[in-house]
Amino acid sequence: MRNLLNFLLKYNNIIVFLILEGIAFYWLTNGNTYHNSKMVKTMQGITRRMEGRITNAKNYLSLREVNLQLAEENSALRNRLEQFNHADAPGFDSVNDTTAGRQYIFTAARVTNNSVNKQKNYFTISKGSLQGVEPDMAVTDGNNAVGMVVACSRNFSVAISLLNLDFRLSARLKSSGHFGSLTWDGRSPRYAILNEIPQHISVSEGDTIETTAFSAVFPEGIGIGRVSGIKKSGSDFYRITVELFADFRQLQYVTVIGNLKREEQLELESQYQ
């Protein structure tokens, strides 16, 4: 109570002034038609702006659900397309086997955790073993390579990011088909390094870099980035700087890609390595 009295005594002049201003404003708007209409229009304008901002905020908050729904629909369409593309594939599969001839399956997921400022970055996605996700599945942001699943729980999975010093990706020049090994040098999250491209190969800035099928993880032809710098190293190979297509700082929704024929390929190859 004493604090309240001290406050009133300290600011009594300001309080009286505000009260008198309020009374004067009330008399002005209610005693004059012109000022009253101006006041009503001003308040209506403020109300409309506030309602507009509230509506925009609600729409923004609903975008997460809309984007996830679109990602899931996109994955479903990819599954259908993969099935149709191989519907007439030769073989002795049962006619009741709906995966006959298919090589890849797709599922959409939301990124629930992510890092880009470490030397070994990982990200977490919102689907796990209960949803069919397994280790060694490829992860893209829809069109571009971003990582690979390394561990799963029932409802979540952790993927090693392309921005990880331990990650290696088989990549090729789209223009010529020559392939090398793509790695991250731990510097900028916007760039990676492509090695093992011989210096007698023609390489130009702006050339597209994409995945090969050699790892049995990624389908071939998935985008990675574009050539932004070319240097001759001490060996017979280029050191090519690649500007990544994916923006890892804005990674929100991803597509997980499973290779149905991966185990068969690896088992056969292991007999000759």
Shortest CA distance to 203 belongs to which of 169, 234, 180, 170?
180
Strand partners of residue 42: none
Residue 136 has φ and ψ, to the nearest 5°, of 70, 20
Domain count, the chain: 1
Longest dimension (CA), the chain: 97
Three-state DSSP class for residue 121: strand
Is 80 inside any structural domain? no
| pLDDT attached to residue 148 | 97
| Per-residue pLDDT reduced to its tens digit, 8-22 | 667 677 777 677 777
Low-confidence ranges of the chain (pLDDT < 50): 84, 86-99
Domain harbouring 233, CATH code: 2.40.10.340
| pLDDT attached to residue 92 | 29
Shortest CA distance to 204 belongs to which of 175, 225, 237, 233?
175
Is 186 inside any structural domain? yes
Tell me, what DSSP letter sits at residue 27? H
| Per-residue pLDDT reduced to its tens digit, 183-224 | 999 999 999 999 999 999 999 999 999 999 888 899 999 999
CB atoms within 10 A of CB 132: 13
Is 1 inside any structural domain? no
Tokens for 187, please give them.
């510097």
Query: Counting Cβ atoms within 10 Å, is residue 203 exposed (0-12), middle (13-18) or buried (19+)?
Result: middle
Is 8 inside any structural domain? no
Is 14 inside any structural domain? no
Tell me, what DSSP letter sits at residue 219? P
Is 122 inside any structural domain? yes
| This model's pTM is above 0.75 | no
Task: List the domain range (segments joined by +) for residue 195.
Answer: 98-270
Is 178 inside any structural domain? yes
Is 114 inside any structural domain? yes
